[in-house]
């Protein structure tokens, strides 16, 4: 099995069979250098004389994709950019970053 963003899968210099330990070592290093960023999706809407808000989803973002999960059935998925989240949540949502936002996320959006 090969993942698109796994560093050993696309190496032109790969001519030998790797051991399980070597693959685990490379994975540990790569994962440590490329953790996803956590975020929350909040909805803010008018309520009486002011506003009200609610937490509607949690997510993980990497430099090239976003995973989002909501308690509402059918409101979860994998997306190519943060701007794609409006497909699920409309325009009235706010993103609250828990970790630093990935630098290249949304450049192609």
Calculate mean pLDDT across residues 36-40. Answer: 96
Across 6-15, 37-46, 61-70, least confident range = 6-15
Report yes or no on 18 lying in a domain.
no
Say if 54 falls within a structural domain.
Answer: yes
Domain of 67 in residue numbering reads as: 37-97
Q: Over range 97-106, report the average pLDDT.
A: 83
Higher pLDDT, 29 or 105: 29
Give 8: exposed, middle or buried? Use CB within 10 Å, 0-12, 13-18, 19+: middle
| pLDDT of 75 above 90 | no
Residue 104 lies in a domain: no
Residue 47 domain-assigned (yes or no): yes
Q: How many domains does the chain have?
A: 1
Query: Structure pTM?
Result: 0.73
> pLDDT-based confidence at 108, cuts 50/70/90?
very low
């Amino acid at each position: 099995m090969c993942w698109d963003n796994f560093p050993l899968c696309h190496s032109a210099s790969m001519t030998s069979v790797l051991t399980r330990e070597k693959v685990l070592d490379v994975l540990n290093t790569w994962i440590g250098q490329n953790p996803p960023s956590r975020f929350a999706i909040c909805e803010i809407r008018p309520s009486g004389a002011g506003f009200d808000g609610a937490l509607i989803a949690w997510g993980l973002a990497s430099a090239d994709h976003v995973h989002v999960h909501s308690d509402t059935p059918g409101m979860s998925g994998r997306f190519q950019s943060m701007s794609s989240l409006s497909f699920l949540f409309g325009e009235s949502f706010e993103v609250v970053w828990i970790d630093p936002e990935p630098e290249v996320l949304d450049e192609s959006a």
